[in-house]
C-alpha cells in the first residue's frame, strides 16, 4: 500500500494543537485499518498529501464555510501535484471528546478522509459517511438514564 503524508496548518490559538493532531492521526488510523494505506504526519514546512486547516467564511476556494452548523468542513483536491486540503470551519465549536459541546473533530475528520479515499455518502444516518453530522445531545443522554 501507499504511505500518505499529512500536516496541520495551525496558525490559530483557538485549538489545542497536540489534541487536534492526535484526532487527525486517529482518523487516519481508522482508515488504515480498512485499507492498505498508511499515513504519517510531516513537519509544517514539508510538502504533504493531506493539508488540514481551520478557516472561516470565503477562503478563496469557491466553497465557503457558513459558521452556522450547516457547512462545518469540506475538502478540495488538486491533480498536479495530487494534494488534498481539508478545511474545518474556525467559527464552529469543535471538541476532542464525543458527546461534548461542539463538533467532534475526529469523527468529522474520518468522514472527510473517507470522501477523499473514494467512499460515497451513505443513506444510513448511523454511517460515518452520512452527509449529516450526528451527535447525541446531553438531553438525550439524560432521557435514557
Cite the active site residues.
112
**DSSP result, 2-21:** PEEEEEEE---TTS-HHHHH
Residue 119, all three cell numbers: 467512499
**DSSP result, 47-99:** --SEEEEEE-S--SSS----SSSS--EEEEEETTTTEEEEEEETTS-EESSTT
DSSP state, 114? H
Amino acid at each position: 500500500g501507499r504511505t500518505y503524508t499529512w500536516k496541520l496548518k495551525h496558525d490559530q490559538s483557538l485549538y489545542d494543537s497536540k489534541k487536534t493532531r492526535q484526532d487527525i492521526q486517529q482518523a487516519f488510523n481508522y482508515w488504515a485499518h480498512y485499507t492498505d494505506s498508511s499515513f504519517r504526519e510531516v513537519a509544517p514546512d514539508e510538502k504533504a498529501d493531506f493539508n488540514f486547516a481551520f478557516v472561516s467564511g470565503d477562503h478563496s476556494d469557491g466553497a465557503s464555510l457558513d459558521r452556522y452548523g450547516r457547512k462545518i468542513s469540506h475538502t478540495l483536491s488538486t491533480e498536479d501535484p495530487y494534494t488534498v486540503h481539508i478545511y474545518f470551519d474556525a467559527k464552529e465549536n469543535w471538541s476532542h471528546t464525543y458527546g461534548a459541546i461542539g463538533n467532534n473533530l475526529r469523527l468529522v475528520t474520518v468522514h472527510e478522509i473517507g470522501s477523499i479515499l473514494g467512499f460515497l455518502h451513505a443513506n444510513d444516518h448511523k454511517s460515518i459517511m452520512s452527509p449529516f453530522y450526528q451527535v447525541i445531545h446531553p438531553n438525550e443522554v439524560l432521557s435514557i438514564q
